Structure 1
Amino acid sequence: MEDAAFLEEVAEFLDSFDVPTFPPAFLEAENSLMGAEGPSASSGAAIATTFASDGAAPIGRKKTKTKQLKAKRNTTPSDRELHKAKDRKRRNEYRERQKIERESLQRQVGDLSAELEQVQKIKENEEKEADDLMLPILAWKTIAKRQLEGRLASETQQRKLQSAVRARAALIEDLSGLVLKRLSEGDLIVSRGLGESSFGQKRIRLEPADTAIFEAYLQGLNTIYAQTEEAFRAYGMDAMLDDATVNTKQAWQHDGKTGCFQFVSKQLMPFSFKQTCQSLRHVAVMQHRQTDRELYYDVEDPETTMALKYRITSRQTSGRVMSVVLRVVARRFEERDRVVTIWRSFTEGEGVFTGMHSDETGWCVAKPSATSSAENTLLEMCIRNVPMHFRSTATLEPAVEQFTDLVLNSGTEDSAEITGMLEKLLLADA
């Protein structure tokens, strides 16, 4: 637009001046030269004739001056107007070419801008898809690495046991006679410590594999936090009523050959937003889970981030004890008008559940209620639990169902326990 305005001003400036008047013979020679396809002998002769007729050849000073004055007198106003018209036509043609070229460049700019925007959108979608794929891939890599480490440790332990068995076999062969003479069979069992207490369950402790899982899950917490609004929309949080005391729904979501369990809850707490957030800090540490509880302290901000490991056991009607080990990481994000708590947990089966795993992602948002007239707080919770079983265990239907029930029931117990503790704290502070 600035170039077009500048060209218009130049055109008006040129039109305000008269173009110098040239002899008619010179104009005719100029036209004959412009109409020719290229330089030739005829064009040169025309130029020579023109200069000769106009007195350009040095015939004499007096004669030249006389012819020039005569040519000026012979130039009429119509000739000058004609020449001005030709100049204006040339300027208009030049401006028209500039306008066409400018419009062509503007169209190219528009096309290239649209192409650039499309490429940027494709790149953003690819980056988003890559982030979504990295979380399950990272979990599977962690599982595979843990299984490999367990296999290598088992093979090393097996070699040690085989060596110990061979050494003990030789020792037993030498001392068997003496042992049979001096000790009874019961004394032998007691002396070797083979009572019921020797078969008790060992206490879990943090291992290098646990550190790898914690570090991998801690790195993904910020990505999960960025997906809060998207997760709430996908699971229909906005469609649930805000004024209900407790509103929950759970379902199994199919995803190709696999799927996930979804749990959505919305609860109205009759307490202030500030008071509710303060109480949430105390109940979020899951103090009700104390069985073989171990904390992971290598976190960036212990005030807002937590990582721990614990065991959950369940006894069947037959008397068999089933257990799973959970590794949980959680982080709290405090915003101006809400507090977002997100967590990620990895559940690993033990005993009959060996080879069975599940990956859970959860979001909990506390914010002031917008529909209630009183000073209330709205708690919104969304949980996604994805089973992750190896093919060798996927065919064990009863065990898989028992594992799934244990995991889902433990999640329901956690939600009920945390809600109950929160209400008790709020009532005590009221």
Structure 2
Amino acid sequence: MADAYYPMEILEVFPDEDEATSMAHISAFLATTSDFGPSSPTTSIDPVPSSPSSDEAPPNLTNTKKRTRRERPKQEIEYLHAKHADLQRQLQLLQLLRAPPKALQPWQERAMRQAEAAQRTLQENSRLKSLVEDQLKVINTLERILTKRPRLSTFGSSHLDGKHPVLGVANHEVDLEQLLQQQYDKMDSEWIRRQLHDATAPLKQATLERSADGDTIGLGFVAKMKIPIDFRSMADVLWSHKTGLLGPACTVLHTYHPNLVYTQEITALPDASMPMLETRDGVRRFDDANRVVILWRSIIEDEANPHDPGHLIGSRWGWLVVEPTGRFECCMQGSMTTLTPTFPSHLDAVAPAIGTWTELLLQASQENKQNFGGLMQNAVLARRQQLGLPIGPDIFFGQDCQAPVEIV
């Protein structure tokens, strides 16, 4: 029994295109083939018989058959072109007959605008609520620290033995390299103290601490998260952020080499009657075999280029470590600390208004959150685009880069 034959329109194999476009593709495809394309002289590739055969067809009959084989595809492609033109006419007619979209009534347009505005308001309220909650946590923790002395000091030994980072008049670069190498050597003990080795990403945590003498308050911030780009690219993003994308209050005093930079930042305190705050940072990048370390440490005294005598002196330090976890994935870990300013001896009598240090630490907390939140996320997305990698809402592995900071 012969197989049943079910006719099928050739356009059914192009479900995602309109018929006119599909026909154009078919015609273009067939035109490139040896059978359906324009006629041209061809060279026969039929094997030449070793000896003449008595059954060989006369030359005129053979040429007639070849000419017939060429003409049939030509007729087919002519039909396809005609079909293409006919479908184009049908498409134009359907487009003319299609009813135009119904215009919205004025009340419908107003309702849509009001709904969009309400949604934006809810998002902004949620963001502000998160910001206020974070600041309340910082204030509550700061109050506990100020009213109760901690049992153990959690500051580094350099702030207990009175040793502060100092740059001499000569060998400025050598002094800075030595100070930052010492900072690099302290990183392992810092990771143990902060329990970053065993921490699970994502982690963003802030701590408020006080020195043993009770005179210095510090804000510590630790973070650990997965980043959807390779670790070298992520290190470049961080280095650009620390040394290139500086705000108007920060300038680069000196670039000793591509991995060593000396910066200065001058900011106003929340109390307008207080002197300006000047912070000098040495920033260093270490490119290890399987990780990149970026660290910084404030310089309290620069004998070759002293701080402004009328400024308070800022003090902070930190580490950022980026390690590979995949071809286009890495783990970023960070620990940083910001202390209340150091008063030069001739400014000891200056007393800040109540709440000045709280506002200063709140500002530092918010800056750290932004650096590890929206700013870093935008930088990563821009870098992925430069590398030609896909950009989607789920590339951060479900981590909320702008989640509230946990206060402990």
| TM-score bracket, shorter-length normalisation | 0.3 to 0.5
Please identify the structure whose Cα radius of gyration is greater.
1
TM-score, normalising length: structure 1: 0.42
* Structure with the higher helix share, 1 or 2: 1
TM-score, normalising length: structure 2: 0.44
Which structure's relative contact order is higher, taking Cα pairs within 8 Å and 6+ residues apart?
2
